[in-house]
Amino acid sequence: MTQSTPTPFNRILLTGAAGGLGKVLRETLRPYANVLRLSDIADMAPAAGPHEEVQRCDLADKAAVHQLVEGVDAIVHFGGVSTEHSFEDILGPNICGTFHIYEAARRHGVKRVIFASSNHVIGFYRQDETIDASAVKRPDSYYGLSKSYGEDLASFYFDRYGIETVSIRIGSSFPEAQNRRMLDTWLSYDDLTQLIERGLFTPNVGHTVVYGVSNNANTWWDNRLANHLGYAPQDSSEPFRAKVEAQPMPAADDPLLVYQGGAFVASGPFGDQ
């Protein structure tokens, strides 16, 4: 980290705590809260440890979400479906669920949210284009549409109620870059944690959209409009380049090599007979 650890919040809520990134953040967010409240619809193991609370919750259940948010000072919202599915599968957790999070934040006086948005909000831009957060959104999937809606909720709840949000358009956050696209979109766990830290503690963020990407040799995303966060990624996908480039080269028209959203632009449709 480039900054010293700030004074922690009393209680931070982490949704999606049983997911891939949620399990990582359960460990790395500990310094930033006296109590970390962990929530997911799935079982969370291990049981609550010191300075942890575990509360199972279906984000589609408005009353349960309102109970979940009571007594928290900030929300790190990573809950929901994280891959492409039918609209019906996305609707409850990602669209209704994010609305429920913001309504509960309003009712309980929570003034800071970190929203796990996604690069799939702009997935139909081509990989030979460079864009910043002012670019018109071009969702590539029902999943991308749900994250676009979440960003709109964040903007509305700031303008209407003063709830500040940092929406992180996460690229590809895995232990290592797994394919050619990820050489450009990879986000290390340490850089993700730094980005959440800056989102939690930087004053006067309003609604800030930032691309969640490490210091890779090449990227399609310009974070100049989020410079006030002071995000300084420390990691790079370069150590994985030789392994990735040893893989067979996809066809030139493969979405993996054409669109910023990769394979998501071609997923579905679902339910066709």
Query: 141-179 pLDDT, tens per residue?
Result: 999 999 999 999 999 999 999 999 999 999 999 999 999
Could you report the per-residue pLDDT of 39-71, keeping only the tens digit for each? 999 988 877 888 999 999 999 999 999 999 999
Mean pLDDT, the chain, as a whole number?
95
Q: What per-residue confidence (pLDDT) applies to 47?
A: 78
How many angstroms separate the CA atoms of 137 and 144, rounded? 10
CB-based burial of residue 43 (10 Å sphere; 0-12 exposed, 13-18 middle, 19+ buried)? Answer: exposed
Active-site position among 32, 143, 211, 259:
143
Query: Is it the case that residue 213 has pLDDT exceeding 50?
Result: yes
State yes or no: pLDDT of 245 exceeds 70: yes
Residue 76 has pLDDT above 60, yes or no: yes
| pLDDT value for 4 | 64
- The CATH number, out of the four listed (3.40.50.720, 3.40.50.300, 2.60.40.1120, 2.40.180.10), of the domain defined by the range 9-266: 3.40.50.720
Q: DSSP secondary-structure letter at 215?
A: S
Q: Is the pLDDT of residue 1 over 50?
A: no
Please count the helices (runs of H) and the strands (runs of E) in the chain.
9, 7
**Residue 139 pLDDT > 50:** yes
pTM to 2 decimal places: 0.96
Query: Up-side HSE of residue 114: CA atoms within 13 Å toward CB?
Result: 29
Question: Does 143 qualify as catalytic in the annotation?
Answer: yes
- With a CB cutoff of 8 Å and minimum separation 6, the contacts of 47 are 54
Closest residue by Cα to residue 148 from 269, 226, 17, 264: 264
Q: Quick check: 199 pLDDT over 90? A: yes
